[in-house]
């Protein structure tokens, strides 16, 4: 391998065997290859490329295209079916959120755990703790179990560790998508500083704008195969053209699906919501995504959110709400009296199914001293639905805003799945009313 190469990928192939029943795995072993009990899924097919030291390369592609599988094999956490990967230098990776962390360990213990995996002694890492805490801004929570951290806090800690272990190759796989805008901007600035120092960076993102900002080169994966490899603007341009070529038919299909759901919902009679112990009640209709459980549900006081759902202007729960209609985000809580109301905040966000925050608001935004001293109360956030046609999810949270970094008493991502339906075809995600004025020159 040339001394100028950082990464060399040769004919990389990964096949997963999918079993429809658990016992089929045992039968496959006993059959000694005489019979096939599984289906083959080729996550990656014959991918080859090289990356020189100091390059920043963006990896793009739709979900399921093989991006994460490729990065996991470069990191050595997944074994190839065929082919080989060669790397020169220490690799620090931010893969799926929380990867490499022990949820029961504190943030400090996880720093030492990650350092040990990368070959650092406890003494070596102790000299870097202050820098990690300063960058992550997690000093107040570093001795708390990471299972109490928000997704943004996970990302802060993971990124801070990765940049303080002297990596020669940095791999970032969508991990920054969950951070707040200010911290993401801070991370981007640090990545640019690392570029100037000659570090090799692999950057995976669905945000083509970020890839174009950071990278000079892009690799486009499609259905496990390498489709394009070259300068970032031509490759991302072809990718965007590919993404939107079937947009009309996809949008029409989605609209028909949501319209059918809306008609079905209108035929159903509303039933009162039953409050259950230690659970979030969403009262979802029995259709598609609307019955899915929360994506994540954690916090130091799980169970204080009693119900969270989207209501229409009449107070009726809606799984489909029209564009420009009034909507009400209703969050019912039972907060122990010993929790101080001065720093308490009830929050919600609406995300698309990619996890992008589209609307975010908290009672903290409206000033302190708003919440009642009573144990049981409901907070209603009223707004006009400006979401374009699509599927979305509701995040409900109870926060402690005493310190700069938010502590979550409870965080439920996916408390209610719902759809927005517009009569006309609207572009983007959020389409507010816009006025225009044209002046002839």
Is 23 domain-assigned? Answer: yes
Question: Is pLDDT above 90 for 52?
Answer: yes
Task: Indicate whether 241 belongs to any domain.
Answer: yes
For residues 296 and 357, state if they share a domain: yes
For residue 61, CA distances in Å to 169, 238, 282, 390 come to 21, 11, 33, 21
Q: Quick count: other Cβ atoms within 10 Å of Cβ 268?
A: 11
Q: Tell me if 7 is assigned to some domain.
A: yes
Statement: residue 98 has pLDDT above 50 = yes
**What is the rounded distance in angstroms from the CA atom of residue 182 to the CA atom of residue 199?**
23
Residue 152 belongs to some domain of the structure: yes
Is the pLDDT score of 295 beyond 80?
no
353 and 385 share one domain: yes
Let me know if residue 434 belongs to a domain. Answer: no
Q: Are residues 297 and 345 both part of a single domain? A: yes
Rounded Cα distance, 296 and 418, in Å: 17
Whether residues 299 and 211 fall in one domain: no
> Is there a single domain that holds both residue 230 and residue 360?
no
Residues 249, 252, 256, 262: is their CA dihedral positive or negative?
positive
Q: CA–CA separation, 344 vs 334, rounded Å?
A: 12
Q: Specify whether 217 is located in the same domain as 116.
A: no
Q: In this model, does residue 94 exceed pLDDT 90?
A: no
Taking residues 108-119, what's their average pLDDT? 84
Q: Is residue 441 part of a domain?
A: no
Q: Is residue 109 located within the same domain as residue 44? A: no
Q: Which of 245, 266, 288 corresponds to the end of one domain?
A: 245
122-132 pLDDT, tens digit each? 888 888 889 98
Q: Are residues 313 and 405 in the same domain?
A: yes
Domain range spanning residue 416?
Answer: 279-421
DSSP, residue by residue, 202-223: EEE-S-HHHHHHH-SEEEEEET
Comparing CA positions, the residue from 329, 291, 293, 326 lying closest to residue 310 is 329
What CATH number should be reported for the domain holding residue 68?
Answer: 3.40.50.300
Look at residue 10 and tell me if it is in a domain.
Answer: yes
Provide φ and ψ at 376, rounded to 5°. Answer: -100, 130
Residue whose C-alpha is closest to residue 80's, from 11, 33, 1: 11
Q: How many domains does the chain have?
A: 3
Helix, strand, or coil here: 365? helix
Residue 347, domain CATH: 2.70.50.60
262 lies in some domain: no
pTM, 2 dp: 0.56
Query: What gap in Å lies between CA 409 and CA 297, rounded to an integer?
Result: 11
């Amino acid at each position: 391998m040339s001394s100028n190469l950082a990464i060399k990928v040769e004919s990389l192939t990964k096949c997963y065997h999918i079993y429809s029943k658990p016992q089929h795995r045992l039968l496959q072993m006993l059959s000694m290859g005489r019979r096939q009990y599984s289906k083959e899924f080729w996550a990656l097919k014959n991918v080859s490329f090289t990356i020189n030291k100091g390059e920043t390369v963006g990896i793009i592609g739709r979900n399921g295209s093989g991006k994460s599988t490729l990065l996991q094999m470069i990191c050595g956490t997944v074994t190839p079916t065929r082919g080989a990967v060669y790397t020169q230098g220490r690799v620090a990776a931010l893969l799926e959120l929380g990867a490499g962390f022990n949820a029961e360990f504190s943030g400090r213990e996880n720093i030492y755990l990650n350092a040990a995996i990368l070959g650092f002694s406890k003494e070596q890492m102790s000299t870097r703790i202050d820098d990690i805490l300063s960058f992550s801004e997690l000093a107040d929570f570093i001795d708390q179990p990471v299972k109490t951290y928000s997704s943004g806090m996970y990302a802060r800690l993971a990124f801070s560790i990765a940049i303080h272990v002297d990596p020669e190759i940095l791999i970032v796989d969508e991990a920054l998508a969950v951070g707040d805008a200010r911290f993401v901007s801070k991370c981007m600035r640090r990545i640019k500083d690392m570029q100037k120092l000659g570090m090799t960076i692999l950057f995976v993102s669905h945000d083509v704008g970020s890839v174009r900002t950071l990278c000079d080169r892009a690799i486009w994966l499609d259905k496990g195969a390498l489709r394009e490899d070259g300068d970032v603007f031509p490759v991302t341009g072809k990718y965007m053209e590919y993404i939107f070529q079937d947009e009309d038919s996809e949008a029409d299909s989605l609209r028909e699906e949501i319209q059918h759901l809306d008609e079905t919902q209108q035929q159903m009679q509303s039933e009162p919501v039953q409050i259950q112990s230690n659970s979030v009640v969403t009262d979802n209709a029995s259709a598609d995504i609307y019955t899915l459980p929360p994506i994540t549900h954690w916090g130091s006081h799980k169970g204080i959110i009693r119900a969270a759902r989207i209501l229409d202007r009449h107070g009726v729960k809606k799984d489909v709400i029209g564009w420009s209609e009034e909507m009400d985000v209703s969050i019912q809580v039972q907060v122990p009296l010993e929790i101080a109301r001065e720093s308490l905040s009830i929050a919600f966000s609406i995300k698309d199914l990619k996890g992008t925050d589209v609307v975010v608001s908290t009672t903290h935004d409206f000033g302190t001293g708003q919440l009642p001293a009573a144990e049981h109360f409901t907070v209603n956030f009223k707004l006009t639905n400006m979401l374009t046609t699509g599927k979305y999810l509701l995040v409900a949270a109870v926060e402690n805003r005493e310190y700069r970094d938010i502590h979550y008493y409870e965080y439920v991502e996916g408390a209610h799945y719902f759809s927005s339906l517009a009569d006309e075809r609207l572009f983007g995600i959020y389409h507010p009313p816009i006025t225009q004025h044209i002046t002839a020159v």
